Amino acid sequence: MKYLFLLSFLPLLTSCENIKASKDFNEKPIEEVLVKLKESNFPLETNVSFLSSLINANNKNYLAYELNILNNYKASIALKKVEIFDLASTELPIAIFDSIYINENLERPKLRSENDLKIISANQFGVLNLNIEFNDIKNIPEKIFHRLHFNINKGNGESIAYTFESTILDIPNKTKLTLGLPFNKKGKWLYEAEGHKNSRFFSNGKVIYPQRFALDWIFVNDDGKLAKNNIKQNKNWSGYGLEIVSVADGVVVDIKDNMIENEPLSEKMAVRITNKTISGNYVIIDIGNDLYALYGHLIPNSLKVKIGDKIKKGQIIGLLGNSGNSDLPHLHFHIESKSNVPMGGEGIPYHLKEFIQLKNYSQEEVSGLFHSNHVPLDSLSPVKKNNEFPIGFGLIEIK
C-alpha cells in the first residue's frame, strides 16, 4: 500500500515542478522587457555622441545633450516636433520640444541664420541641443527614447507627415562633482550658462562640446554698475583685474599668455579668433579623475602659475581680463574631460557648493544690461542654493 501511495504522489510532484519551471521560464526581469519602437524603413539616422550626468537646479534635475540627426533620404525633411518618452510607459511624453524650440536650438553647421534651419536637405544633418527637465526627482525614468515628427518634401510643393522613433538612452546618475567658485571676490555676479551650448569643436577625428557646461562670470558693483565712466576701457570695468582662484587641488597642465586684450563691447576682436585663440590667456588645471578645469580670457602677464605647478584649492592663478573671444571683461570657466589639446574634451557638469540666486534673465535681457551698464538691484528674490548648477542667465550673490 505504501508503494502505491508513493507512486501516486510522484506524478503530483513532477507536475508541480513542471508548472514551476514553466512559470520561471516565462517570467523575465522587468529590465529585460523592452518596449519595441515603431519600425521604420525611412533612412533617417539619429544618435547621441556623449551623454553627461544629470545636474540639480531649482529642485529639479536636468539632462543636457545633443541629438544628431542625419537625413539619408533623397528629399528634404522639415523637423516639426521632438517628443521624449519613458521607455517603460509610452502613453504620454515626458518632454515635448516644439518648432519654436527647434528653431532656436537646432544647430546647422556652415548654414547661415537666414536659412530655415529646421529643413534638413538630402544628405545633410542637424544637431538638436536638448535639455530635459525632470520635475519629480524621485521618479526619473531608467530609459528614454525619441519620437521625431517631420514632413517629407515631395518636390511638388506637397509634403507627407511622418513619425520616426529611435535612440534609446539610459538615464545617467546625478553628478557627484561639487566645486568651489573660481574667484574669491564676494558680492554680486552676472552669469551666462547657456551661451556656449552650440560651441562645436573637432578633436582627434570626432565632434565634441567642451563648453557644454561653461559659465561666464561678470562682476557687478554694489550700485549696479558694471563699469565706471567710459565702458570702452577695460580698466573701468568693476571685475577687471579681480583675482581668479583654483576651484580644486590639482596640477597645471597648460597655459597661454601674452595675448593682447579687446576693447569692451567692440564688434572687432584684437586677434583673429581660432581654436588656439578663442580662450585668450588661459590656465588649465588637472583636478583629478581625468578632468580638466579651464580658466579663460585672463589679463596678459597676470598668470601666477606655470606648467607643472601643484595647485591648492583657492590659490590665485591669474587676473580676470578681456582676451580672446571676449566682448567685455569676464571669466570663462568650464570643466572638460581630459584631452591632449585645449578644448579637446567633452564638457562635464558639476555643482557649486553654495550661492544665492537673485534673479533670472533671458539672453536678450543680459545683453541689454551690458550695453546700458546697469543691473537693477530692486525687486530681487534671494534664494539660497546648495550643490546646484546655475542654469540659464542670471544674477547671483556670494556672501
314-330 confidence digits (pLDDT tens):
999 999 999 999 999 99
Say if residue 379 is exposed, middle or buried (CB neighbours under 10 Å; 0-12, 13-18, 19+). Answer: exposed
> Are 218 and 84 contained in the same domain?
no
Alpha-carbon separation of residue 396 from 78, 295, 320 (angstroms): 40, 19, 18
> Are 80 and 214 contained in the same domain?
no
Provide the grid cell at 388. Answer: 546646484
> Are 305 and 336 contained in the same domain?
yes
> Are 68 and 185 contained in the same domain?
no
> Are 353 and 291 contained in the same domain?
yes
> Are 164 and 184 contained in the same domain?
no
pLDDT band, residue 113 (cuts 50/70/90): low
The lowest-confidence range among 17-21, 307-311, 351-355 is: 17-21
Provide the grid cell at 385. Answer: 542654493
Q: Which of 151, 170, 189 is the last residue of a domain?
A: 170
Percent of the chain with pLDDT over 90: 78
Residue 18 lies in a domain: no
> Are 183 and 164 contained in the same domain?
no
The lowest-confidence range among 103-112, 264-273, 282-291 is: 103-112
pLDDT band, residue 53 (cuts 50/70/90): very high
Residue 21 lies in a domain: no
Express each pLDDT in 133-156 by its tens digit. 999 888 899 999 999 999 999 878
> Could you tell me if residue 366 is left (phi over 0), alpha (psi between -120 and 50 degrees) or otherwise beta?
alpha
Residue 27 lies in a domain: no
Residue 8 lies in a domain: no
Provide the grid cell at 15. Answer: 507536475
Dihedral sign, CA of 197, 201, 207, 211? negative
The span from the CA of 140 to the CA of 78, in Å, is 31
Residue 142 lies in a domain: yes
Check if the beta carbon of residue 265 is closer than 8 Å to that of residue 370. yes
> Are 252 and 377 contained in the same domain?
yes
The span from the CA of 349 to the CA of 357, in Å, is 19
Express each pLDDT in 207-242 by its tens digit. 999 999 999 999 999 999 999 989 999 999 999 999
Q: Which of 134, 153, 170 is the last residue of a domain?
A: 170
> Are 258 and 140 contained in the same domain?
no
The span from the CA of 299 to the CA of 297, in Å, is 7
Check if the beta carbon of residue 293 is closer than 8 Å to that of residue 265. no
CATH number, domain containing residue 354? 2.70.70.10
Express each pLDDT in 166-192 by its tens digit. 999 999 999 999 999 999 999 999 999
CATH number, domain containing residue 119? 2.60.40
Residue 102 lies in a domain: yes
> Are 268 and 348 contained in the same domain?
yes
pLDDT higher than threshold 90 for residue 101 = yes
Residue 77 lies in a domain: yes
Q: Structural domain tally of the chain?
A: 2
Ranges of beta strands (E only) in 257-349 are: 281-288, 291-298, 310-311, 316-319, 331-337
Residue 346 lies in a domain: yes
Q: Which of 147, 170, 193 is the last residue of a domain?
A: 170
> Are 198 and 124 contained in the same domain?
no
> Are 120 and 261 contained in the same domain?
no
Domain hosting 204: range is 178-398
The span from the CA of 108 to the CA of 128, in Å, is 9
Quote the pLDDT of residue 110.
75
Quote the pLDDT of residue 105.
92
